[in-house]
């Protein structure tokens, strides 16, 4: 049920890949959207500018048209004025003619200026100017002729003025047609640009719609994936907690088994030990009548006392018994140590709120005499946390660790033991740090084993203390380990759960 780390890595990689793809897609969609909007705006601006331009041009065309119409009117009026003069010889008509001539010239100039952009109209104007000049000439001739007094209508019929007026009229028509053509062309262009704008807008709209739909799809899918991976993460988290709980339970079970084993072994070892010690005493007791017999024999019949018999009774027997006794006493101490350890393991833990500052001060106080003798000091860091655990077990753990620190000081260096503790997550980590002789890294595991010791064997002890500490730490759901190098002091680190939950099998 519990997922393997390979699965974890795989899912993390998958997630990272999905995130990269998602980011690329979203950024791509956003860029596409913005580019489209920009394109539409630019197109609209261009089309609008062009439309404004076209409107200007259309207006211009109308102005040209009006100017042509004005010219046409002036030209008709000069013809009328001429005819008036020819009929009435009224000089006011002649003056009118002259005035109109100037106006017509100005109008042609005006037209030329207006149509400076159009070579066709310019060509038309060049022709018009010539035709106007010819008309003027005809007008001048006919007026001069009339002023000469002739009232000859035949002359009138020879007049070229009428013909040139007609030519001018058709020229003006041509120019109007040209302007109309221009107008039509410009209108068509404007229409086509508007149509183009509409097309572009529709395409852009579709594109935006597509981008939006795509983005929403991607976001929805990503959100769903995110939900799935979050659920997965939750599951893994729960799995992890279960795994930690299982691991702790396993450790405790193993510890319990060792305790039970120790209990059985110590009891079973005790039985033969009682025999050895008992019969050794019996032997010793039996040796007494033997040695008094020897004394009597030496006193009464020294000849029968063989040298080897005497050595056996006076030297070998007591010596052997002495060695047996020393060994059995040592064995008795070891068995008692195991028994004590297993008895500790069978004690029912009673979790309670323990102020570690007060507890450690108490431990330091009981070791005060010892540390004073050694010239060492025990320094407790302020603000030690409060834990919910078994008071007696904690007391034993820390008195063992601090006692050890005092026991293995570096000769010639004033001893100092620092005890600190702080919260890390749901756990409390205590450091018991000394500046003593330290432990060779190869012995770091060994020192926690029962009956194993490290370094120079110059201190009394059976190698029980740290094994006891480790067993207790396991029982409290914690761990203990050491960081040290030879001559560098040692730091024993005890990590405990902030709250001891009694998950122990009932005994």
Binding residues for other proteins (CB under 8 A)? 267-268, 270-275, 277-282, 332, 335-336
Nearer to other proteins by Cβ, of 147 and 347: the residue is 347
Is 449:467 a contact under the CB 8 Å cutoff? yes
Closest CB 310 distance from other proteins, rounded Å: 28
Q: Whole-number minimum distance, CB 469 to other proteins, in Å?
A: 24
Cβ closer to other proteins: 335 or 432? 335
User: Which residue lies nearer to other proteins by CB, 247 or 346?
Assistant: 346
| Cβ contact 331:273 at 8 Å | yes
Between CA 208 and CA 229 the distance in angstroms is 31
Rounded Cα distance between 356 and 263, Å, is 31
Least distance to other proteins from the beta carbon of 251, Å? 25
DSSP state of 383: S
Our CA angle for 309, 311, 314, nearest 5°, is 105
CB nearer to other proteins: pick between 83 and 270: 270
Cβ nearer to other proteins, comparing 141 with 265: 265
Euclidean distance between CA atoms 173 and 167, whole angstroms: 10
Residue 297 · residue 259 · CB < 8 Å: no
Distance CA 344, CA 259 (A): 9
Residue 332 CB coordination number (10 Å)? 16
CB of 450 to other proteins, least distance (A): 19
Nearer to other proteins, 277 or 374 (CB): 277
CB of 279 to other proteins, least distance (A): 7
Question: What three-state secondary structure class fits 348?
Answer: coil
* DSSP notation for 50-92: HHHHHHHHHHHHHHHHHHHHHHHHHHHHHHHHHHHHHHH--HH
Q: Which is nearer to other proteins, 189 or 504 (CB)?
A: 504
Contact 455, 446 (CB under 8 A): no
Q: What minimum distance in Å lies between the beta carbon of 333 and other proteins?
A: 10
Q: Measure Cα distances from 315 to 273, 281, 289, 501 in Å.
A: 25, 17, 15, 61
Q: How far is the CB of 341 from other proteins (least distance, A)?
A: 14
Closest distance of CB 272 from other proteins, Å: 8
- H-run or E-run covering 456: none
Nearer to other proteins, 268 or 487 (CB): 268
The 10 Å Cβ neighbour count of residue 126 is: 11
Reduce the DSSP state of residue 487 to 3 states and report it: coil
**CB 274 → other proteins: shortest distance, Å?**
6
Question: What DSSP character marks residue 499?
Answer: B
Q: What are all long-range contacts of 307-314, with beta carbons under 8 Å and residues at least 24 apart?
A: 313/287
Pick 312 or 349: Cβ nearer other proteins: 349
């Amino acid at each position: 049920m519990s997922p393997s780390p390979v699965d974890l890595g795989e899912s993390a990689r998958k997630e990272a890949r999905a995130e990269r793809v998602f980011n690329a897609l979203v950024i791509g969609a956003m860029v596409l959207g913005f580019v489209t909007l920009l394109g539409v705006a630019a197109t609209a601006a261009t089309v609008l500018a062009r439309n404004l331009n076209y409107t200007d041009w259309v207006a211009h065309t109308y102005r040209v048209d009006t100017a042509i119409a004005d010219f046409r009117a002036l030209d008709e009026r000069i013809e009328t004025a001429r005819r008036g003069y020819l009929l009435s010889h009224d000089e006011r008509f002649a003056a009118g003619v002259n005035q109109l001539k100037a106006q017509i010239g100005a109008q042609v100039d005006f037209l030329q200026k207006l149509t400076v952009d159009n070579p066709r109209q310019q060509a038309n104007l060049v022709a018009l100017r010539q035709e106007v000049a010819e008309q003027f000439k005809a007008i001048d001739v006919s007026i001069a002729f009339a002023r000469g007094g002739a009232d000859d209508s035949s002359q009138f019929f020879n007049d070229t003025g009428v013909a040139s007026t007609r030519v001018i009229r058709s020229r003006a028509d041509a120019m109007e047609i040209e302007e109309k053509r221009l107008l039509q062309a410009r209108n068509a262009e404007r229409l086509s640009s508007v149509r183009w704008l509409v097309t572009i807008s529709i395409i852009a709209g579709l594109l935006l719609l597509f981008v939006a739909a795509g983005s929403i799809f991607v976001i929805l899918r990503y959100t769903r994936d995110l939900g799935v991976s979050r659920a997965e993460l939750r599951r893994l988290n729960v799995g992890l907690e279960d795994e930690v709980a299982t691991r702790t339970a396993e450790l405790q079970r193993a510890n319990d088994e060792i305790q039970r084993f120790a209990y059985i072994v110590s009891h079973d070892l005790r039985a033969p030990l009682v025999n050895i010690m008992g019969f050794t005493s019996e032997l010793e007791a039996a040796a007494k009548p033997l040695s008094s017999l020897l004394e009597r024999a030496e006193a009464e019949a020294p000849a029968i006392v063989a040298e080897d018999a005497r050595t056996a009774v006076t030297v070998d027997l007591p010596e052997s018994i002495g060695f047996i006794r020393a060994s059995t006493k040592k064995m008795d101490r070891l068995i008692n140590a195991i028994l004590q350890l297993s008895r500790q393991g069978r004690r029912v833990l009673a979790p309670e709120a323990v102020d570690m500052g007060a507890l450690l001060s108490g431990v330091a106080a009981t070791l005060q005499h010892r540390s004073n003798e050694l010239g060492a000091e025990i320094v407790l860091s302020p603000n030690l946390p409060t834990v919910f655990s078994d008071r007696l077990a904690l007391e034993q753990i820390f008195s063992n660790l601090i006692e050890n620190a005092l026991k293995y000081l570096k000769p010639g260096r004033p001893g100092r033991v620092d005890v600190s503790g702080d919260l890390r997550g749901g756990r409390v980590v205590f450091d018991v740090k000394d500046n003593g002789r330290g432990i060779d890294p190869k012995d770091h595991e060994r020192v926690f084993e029962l009956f194993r010791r490290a370094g120079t064997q110059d201190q009394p002890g059976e190698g029980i203390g740290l094994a006891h500490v480790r067993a207790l730490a396991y029982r409290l759901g914690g761990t203990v380990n050491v960081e040290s190098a030879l001559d560098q002091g040692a730091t024993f680190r005890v990590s405990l759960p902030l709250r001891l939950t009694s998950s122990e099998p009932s005994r």
